[in-house]
Structure formats: C-alpha cells, structure tokens
Amino acid sequence: MSRELHPALRAARLAWRVFDGACRAVINLAVVAVLLVVLVALMFPRGGPKVPRGAALVVAPSGVLVEQYSGSPVERARERLLGGGEDETLVHDVVTAIREAKDDDRIAALVLALDEFAGGGLTKLEDIQRAVLDFRSSGKKVIAVARSYGDASWFLAAAADEILLDPQGAVGIEGYERYRTYFRSALEKLSVDVHVFRVGTFKSAVEPFLRDDMSPAAREANLDWMGDLWRTWLDEAAAARGMPAERIAAYVENFSDVILEHRGDTASAALDAGLVDELVDRLAFRERMIDLVGSDRKKKSYRRIGFRDYLVAIGKDERPHPRGGPAVAVIVARGEIAMGERPPGQIGSRSTGELIRRAREDDDVAAIVLRVDSPGGSAFASEEIRRECARAREDGKKVVISMGSVAASGGYWISTAADEIWAHPTTITGSIGIFGMFPTYPRLLDRLGVHVDGVGTTPLAGSVRPDRPLPPRMERTIQAMIEDGYRDFLERVAEARGMDVDRVDAIAQGRVWSGIDALDLGLVDRLGTLDEAIARAAELADLGEDYKVRWVERRPGLREKLVAELLNTRLAAALAPRSALDGLLARVPAARRVLDDLDRWTRLDDPRGLYALSPLPAD
C-alpha cells in the first residue's frame, strides 16, 4: 500500500529542489565567470598598471633575495594562502626595475623601502647596490627609509642620497656569524648511533651528529671566509656611504657602549654615528615625498609606483626568452642537488639536466651560462648534471659557470665541466669533499625491550638496517665507497683546473673558501658579475655584440597560471585556514631553524648514499 505525501509536503519538497538547483546553478555560473575573467586576463592582459609621470619608483623587497623562486606558481600561491613558506624577491627583478627606471623620464626618484626586507647573500646585495649607485649617476634622488635597519638593509641604504630612520628605530649591524645546532648528547641519551663516513679535515656538514660543538678545523675555516665577507661588506658599504670603514666598524664593535652613552636612544645613536641622515616618522616622510614628486589624490600619498607594477607596466615582468638569432642561454641552478625531477628552487638531476639539454639542442644557442647558487647535495645527481654540461661542450657549445652567493661541494662539482668559472669576490665555494651517514638505533630498541633477530642467506642480507648494529665489515665497505667518491671528485677538479690530484687534495679536504681565495688557489678563473660572465660567454662563442640573452627555465602552462591566479584571489585568501604551527614558528625563529635543518637531512636521496654537501645555506 503506497503512502502519498500531503500536498503541502509535496509542494515544499518541490520548492526545495527548485531552490537547491537554482543555488547550484548560481554558484557554478559564478565559478565559471571567475574562471573566464582570469583566463581572459591571462590571455589578453589589458588595463594593467600605468607609470605616473614624475613618480617615485618604490623598491620594497619582501623576504629574502633569491636567484630563482622556490616552487611552482601554484605551490607559491598555495603557501601564501595557507600562511606558510617564506617571502622571496628575485634579485633580477629588483636590478632590472632600477636599471630601466634610470633612463625613464617618468621616474623622478627612487625610494628604498626596507621594512619587509629579510636579507640575502652578499653577492645579491652587491648587485642591487651597484644598480642603485648607477641610478644616482642620472641625477635622480635616492631615499632609503625604514623603521629599523639590519646588516642587509643598511648595506643597500648606504647607496642612497639620504637614509631616513624612524625616531623609535635603530641601526643594528651585527656582522657575519655561523652557529649550528648540535645533537650528539641528545642522540646518546636516545641511544641512537649515527655512523658517519667522510673524507676531508674540514668536511663539517655532519659535525652536528658527531659533536656538541664546532671543531677547531671548522672554526678556522669559517672565520677565514666570514672574515673576507665582513671586510668586503665594510669596505663597500663605507664607500657607498662616503665614510671611513673604521667608523662603521667602531660603531658595531662598541655598540653597547654607544647605546649606553645615548641612554638607550638607538635612533639618536645611529644619527650621531653618521649611519642615518635624519630621524623621520611615516607622516613626515610622506609629506617630504609629496614635496619631491607631487601627490596622488586617489591614494592620498605621494606619486609612486612599486617596482613589481613598474616591471609589468614596461613589459619586463618576465625574464627574456627571445627566439631567433644567436643567443647565450642562461640557466639558474639554485638550491640543494637531488635526484630526479625537482621544483624551482631545487636542483634535480633530471629537471636541471633537461634545461641544459634544451639549450644544447637549440641551434640558436652558441653558449650556456649556468648560474650556480647551491651548497651541493647528492654526488650522483651532481655528476649527472656535470655530464650534461660536458656533453654541451662536446657539441660545440661554450659553457661558462657564474657562481652566486654559494657554489660549494656539489655546487662546485657541477661547475667543473666548463670553459671558464666565474665567481663573485664574496662567493662561498670549495668544500671539495664527500660524506655518507647512516643512523642505527638497536640500543634504543633494547631499552624499550624490543629485539631484532633472524637469518639471511649472505653476510650482506639485512646488514644495513637501522634496527641492527652496522657490521664492521660494512663500515669498512662504506668508507671505501666514500674514499672512491672523493677520488672521483679530486680527479674531476684536477682535470678541469689543470692541476695534479695532490695539489687539489691539499686545497680540498672539505674546506670552504671565499671567491677571492678561490681565485688565488686556481679554483675559479675570474671574478665578476653574472652580466660579465654572460658577456664573456658571448666572446668565447665569437658572437660579437649582436646576440640575445635567453633565460632557459621551466615555464608554467596556462592551466598552472590559471590555478595560481585563482589561489591569489582575495576570496581564496579570506577562506584559507591558518596553521597553528606556522603561527608558532613565526614567533619562535629558532624552532623554525631547527626544523628546517632536520628537514634538510630527510631530503637526501643519493642512490649510493654519497653526498657532496656543505653545511652552508643555499642563498
């Protein structure tokens, strides 16, 4: 017997279905509309930012300076959406904007707004400082402004005509440091044994697992290269500022006494030391800029344009990929070196090798410049990338290495198959050495009452298990593999640099050198910038003056751009969940550093477990 619904209930159900269908249709139409708008914006960009006449170009770098963004556009957008990741600014973008603005009649001044700037390697700071000093030669004014300055931000500010500081601010210059977290005692308390195999007196990457402090050898090497960088920092900052380097050094070395003399007033202390020109708050700064470049009534501020909008407005928001005609290909190899496919910001044996191969197979490309900014990584992956460079040379392409802030260990390994190696004076390079590491924890299991036992058909079966002791025979075997890898490294360097192996061994041993020392030791051919290395590559390829510079990189497809644009919308940002851990780590930077350091070790993936990796950061 069927039960019929009351007419009123049937009407209500029908009304609900109509309402639900209408809502779904409206939502689907809204989503499609948003997709179409983003798609049209990507395919037919119009109505973008305009450059106001007589405006100030505002260079406000956020986060750290890098040679290449980390991750794909979608990954970066997702990180921003979830409140994670780290802000990054391409040094290429900053330098390009400043260079273009120098001769742009619409730009009347340059403002270095440095509140959100977190720093970068000295080579990157030098590139921007040179661009600022060149901009000043046009007669246009440069003003630096910040609530407070640190080492990196003041180095850039020193190139300005005026340095302005908030009355509540400070100039806190510290110099260079190298402190690490050491785990030996913690591992001992946990009954975890870390078996380390290495070659090189100075190969200190694995020291945190062997010691509770820095070894004398590592202390000596670190003080050596940091001393070179600090002296260069002082000399170049002082020259840009037009004051004696000794005066800056005295301020840093006697900082506590200086602040006490000023009864804790850090701003006036910086003013009296000549590190800033005037103490100005935000309101006064805005009024000063209105007097200089005029007002923008819509924004209720001075007439200005940010450097990212400026690059879009002049069509320079992407690195050039010109087609046709003789070219020098530039490939960025930034980050740690690992096997396989890796996202931007990391060097993968397959992904980076594919970029080199694309340049090699391009008939228009006569020379390749590989920009290396890497502390190293997998020895196997490093060798695969080196082979790609060697193959390019065999095919008649000139190959020039341009070292960035760091090109050490595996970063130096991949540099050996080149016609010439260029470094900045402040590049950190060398660290020619190999290590392997294998942790075991049977003692920990024993304390917990857990025991491992069994049989194998050969002595090798089950011998490399973290829950069993590492047999002495296997320890000797692994050490032999490490020593063989080190010999390979030495031979690669000896052949590339025209040295005998004993000479290379004497300057290798895992020791880190500055670019200045590397030139003296014969590890690099010349000191110079990326632009100079590109010009040299063109010269080696006999291209004359008429050639193009083509950046070879992974370019996102339309779908990837579309998803990234959607993730960057305000609606998506408003709906994004925030991680409590991210919030905590943002407040406790030391915790972030420890977790990042541990995460670094989890990414090691060499098939043989051999690593040419320095303890230095990638940037």
> How confident is the prediction for the chain on average, in pLDDT?
87
Question: Which pLDDT tens digit goes with each residue over 299-319?
Answer: 789 999 999 999 999 999 888
pLDDT of res. 17 = 72
Task: Look at the pTM and tell me if it is higher than 0.75.
Answer: yes
The two structure tokens encoding residue 107 = 């730009």
Average confidence (pLDDT) over 281-300: 91
Does the annotation count 409 as an active-site position? yes
Average confidence (pLDDT) over 509-527: 96
Torsions phi, psi for 332 (to 5 deg)? -95, 125
In sequence order, which residues have a C-beta less than 8 Å from that of residue 118 and are 6 or more positions away? 62, 63, 64, 87, 152
pLDDT of res. 615 = 66
Q: Is the pLDDT of residue 91 over 60?
A: yes
Question: Which pLDDT tens digit goes with each residue over 235-282?
Answer: 999 999 999 999 999 999 999 999 999 999 999 999 999 999 999 999
The separation between CA 559 and the C-alpha centre of its own chain, rounded to angstroms, equals 26
For residue 325, name the pLDDT band (cuts at 50, 70, 90): confident
State the number of CA atoms in the 13 A half-sphere of 570 facing the CB: 0
CA-wise closest residue to 493 among 507, 478, 511: 507
Question: Which pLDDT tens digit goes with each residue over 145-196?
Answer: 999 999 999 999 999 999 999 999 999 999 999 999 999 999 999 999 999 9
* Options 102, 124, 140, 203, the catalytic residue: 203
Per the DSSP assignment, residues forming a β-bridge with 98 are none
Give the span between the Cα atoms of 390 and 398, in whole angstroms. Answer: 10
Q: Is the pLDDT of residue 201 over 90?
A: no
* Options 374, 382, 409, 614, the catalytic residue: 409
pLDDT of res. 370 = 98
Q: Is the pLDDT of residue 581 over 60?
A: no
What are the distances in angstroms from CA 503 to CA 132, 286, 421? 42, 60, 19
pLDDT of res. 577 = 47
What are the distances in angstroms from CA 369 to CA 107, 326, 418, 432, 534? 32, 14, 9, 22, 6
**Type and span of the H or E element at 304:** strand 304-306
For residue 71, name the pLDDT band (cuts at 50, 70, 90): confident
In sequence order, which residues have a C-beta less than 8 Å from that of residue 619 and are 6 or more positions away? 64, 65, 66, 67, 120, 121, 124, 334, 373, 405, 406
pLDDT of res. 73 = 61
Average confidence (pLDDT) over 461-471: 93
pLDDT of res. 618 = 58
pLDDT of res. 435 = 87
Q: Is the pLDDT of residue 129 over 80?
A: yes
The two structure tokens encoding residue 133 = 């000093």
Percentage above 90 pLDDT, the chain: 72
CA 482-487-489 angle, to 5 degrees, is: 95
CA-wise closest residue to 65 among 405, 314, 343: 405
Does the annotation count 203 as an active-site position? yes
Burial bucket for residue 566 (CB in 10 Å: 0-12, 13-18, 19+): middle
The two structure tokens encoding residue 225 = 């290269």
The two structure tokens encoding residue 439 = 């942790």
110-114, 551-555, 592-596: segment of lowest average pLDDT: 592-596
In sequence order, which residues have a C-beta less than 8 Å from that of residue 106 and are 6 or more positions away? 51, 52, 53, 54, 55
Question: How many CB atoms within 10 Å of residue 296?
Answer: 15
Average confidence (pLDDT) over 401-413: 96
What is the per-residue DSSP string for 571-585? HHHHH----HHHHHH
The separation between CA 224 and the C-alpha centre of its own chain, rounded to angstroms, equals 23
Question: Which pLDDT tens digit goes with each residue over 417-433?
Answer: 999 999 999 999 999 99
